[in-house]
Chains A and B, each alone.
Chain A
Amino acid sequence: MLIKIDGKECGCKHGEFILEVAKRNGIEIPNLCHHEGLPGQGCCRVCIVEVEINGWRNIVTACVYPLERECEVFTNSPRVIKQRAMVLALLHSLAPGSSEVSELCEKYNVPSYRRFVKKNDTKCILCGLCAKACESLGTGAISTVNRGTGKAVTTPYGEPSYECVGCASCAKVCPTGAIMVEEGAGSRKIWGKKIPLLKCKKCGEPAGTYMELRRAAEKLGEGMPELCEACRKKEIAEKLASIYGY
């Protein structure tokens, strides 16, 4: 199937999302809550574009809009520029502490709305990607709570979670670096919980928290790993090299 994005003809598969097709064709659509490993979040609305089908033009969300028929996509139409600027301005007043949001505001010439009520120097844009990552890893230590303007992300009862293994995946997927991870000597602190770290037998760097490594080992049905990710990869590479004699 062929579609047009900003005048450029692009090939795509039926059902593919606009954002993927644009990316493949070197067309940039800004976004915050999209993560390739955790698709379908579709809530920051920064990636809005305009789609024209049979003369009808609509604003859609590029990261979750499936291409099912021939159409033309506009990523920088006046309507997109205007709405995206407002979305970014709203995000900026929600997370004035986020440099990612500030940079996007600057890049897309978002005016500053002095009338907007700003939240105190927070970075979180409430996209919920962290909770989604945690859930999809089977940990389920954090979730979104409340609704409407009271929405937040936390552990149950706001206390250190029994289920958190300290893998910090939430922090890794967070588009604005809003989740605090304190890496200390021998332990990691996240969501108010201190979890001991296991050191790599080879290089001495932290290989991960004891709990996350045990969880991974249980799932794979293997023993506890002794090496960090980097050393483990190196070891495999060396093994392969010796077998094939590179």
Chain B
Amino acid sequence: MPEQNITYEDITPLLLKYPKDQRHALAIMQDMQRHFNYIPRKGLEALADYLGCHISGLYSMATFYKSLSLKPKGRHIIKVCDGTACHIRGAVNLVSGIERVLGISADEVTGDGEFSLELVNCLGSCALAPVMVVDDEYYGKVTTDRLPEIFDALRGEARP
């Protein structure tokens, strides 16, 4: 959802799930990230207001924690595990394969907003290296020739 379409009515329910306490700042931002696919500026401002803290501290957190993003991500989030086991079992080739197929680099979003690509730390599925996770689905022992088929299927999925 683009920033201009987000209203405080969208944000408030996410805040009210938690008591007004600094220690819930991270959890609320994670919920926002899930809900909007990023942390909208309005969201950060509303959260600062709700917790009675400065926006700078929240901005600092939003840029520090990798699970939070200030820019919208793609509809499907491709996470390629670059843990050591995956790294020595071909994660680098997998990433360059995805880059070739989708025409984006890590931390970028495809022009149509369908996919974003992320390199993540170990996902703890080392036995299936190299591992890729799209949305919440795991793909183990991925070879680059399987990629077009996987992405085409995801593209075809109806929008909710």
Contacts and interface: CB of A to CB of B under 8 A. Distances in A.
Interface of A: 131, 134-135, 139-147, 155-157, 161, 163
B60 A145 contact: yes
Interface stretch (B50-58, B109-117, B128-136, B139-147): B50-58
Interface of B: 41, 44, 53-57, 59-60, 63-64
B57 A143 contact: yes
Contacts of A142: 56
B64 A156 contact: no
A157 B56 CA distance: 9
Contacts of B60: 143-145
Contact of A141 (B44, B53, B56, B63): B56
A147 B64 contact: yes
Contacts of A143: 54, 56-57, 59-60
B41 A140 contact: no
A41 B93 CA distance: 42
Contacts of B55: 140, 156, 163
12 contacts: A131-B56, A134-B56, A135-B56, A139-B54, A140-B53, A145-B60, A145-B64, A146-B63, A147-B64, A157-B41, A157-B59, A163-B55
B57 to A, nearest CB: 6
Contacts of A134: 56
Contacts of A135: 54, 56-57
A161 B56 CA distance: 9
B56 A140 contact: yes
Nearest to B57: A143
A140 B57 contact: yes
A145 B63 contact: yes
Contacts of B53: 140
A135 B60 CA distance: 12
B64 A155 contact: no
A125 B64 CA distance: 19
A213 to B, nearest CB: 20
A141 B57 CA distance: 9
Contacts of B59: 143, 145, 156-157
A10 to B, nearest CB: 39
Contact of B56 (A146, A147, A156): A156
A163 B53 CA distance: 12
Closest 3 CB pairs of A and B: A140-B54, A143-B56, A143-B60
Contacts of B63: 145-147
A163 B54 contact: yes
Nearest to A148: B64
A163 B57 CA distance: 12
